[in-house]
Amino acid sequence: MTLQRYCLALDLVDDPEKIQTYIALHRKIWPEVKANIYACGIMDMQIWHIGTRLFMIMEVDDTYSPQHAAAIAATEPRVKEWETLMWQFQLPTPWTPTGEKWIAMEKIFDLKMQ
């Protein structure tokens, strides 16, 4: 099995109280959300934060498909509820297509390739 890494960006609403609530919610995500993450082929996920910017690193296996993950998120009731809750804190970056949230970033440097 080979792992692939995805790096994504998202912004938060510029409100310190909302940002702290968002962080607190991610300290212990709902069990159904965690189960869904693994069921989609995501082997590891981290979210990093500075100011209003979030950076997500996902390591996925060969079964992962962004389209499949989005379809599950749209139909699984508890995951859908989580995503709806998250929208009150999240803002798409200026580069994100309308209606989307997290946007993939382009790798421009890899020390191992130097």
pLDDT per residue as tens digits for the range 82-91: 999 999 999 9
113: in domain: no
Output the domain CATH number for residue 28.
3.30.70.1090
Residues 13-65 pLDDT 10s: 999 999 999 999 999 999 999 999 999 999 999 999 999 999 999 999 999 99
9: in domain: yes
CA atoms within 13 A on the CB side of 7: 7
What does the alpha-carbon distance between residue 80 and residue 16 come to, in Å, rounded to a whole number? 25
60: in domain: yes
Q: Give, as one character, the DSSP assignment of residue 106.
A: P
Q: What is the pTM of this model?
A: 0.90
102: in domain: yes
| Between 73 and 55, residue with greater pLDDT | 55
- In which domain, by residue range, is 15 found? 4-108
114: in domain: no
30: in domain: yes
Q: Give, as one character, the DSSP assignment of residue 107.
A: P
Q: Which of 2, 35, 22, 7 is nearest to 86 (CA)?
A: 22
Number of domains in the chain: 1
Please name every residue paired with 55 in a beta bridge, in sequence order, or none if there are none.
Answer: 9, 48
Residue 79: pLDDT band with limits 50, 70, 90: very high
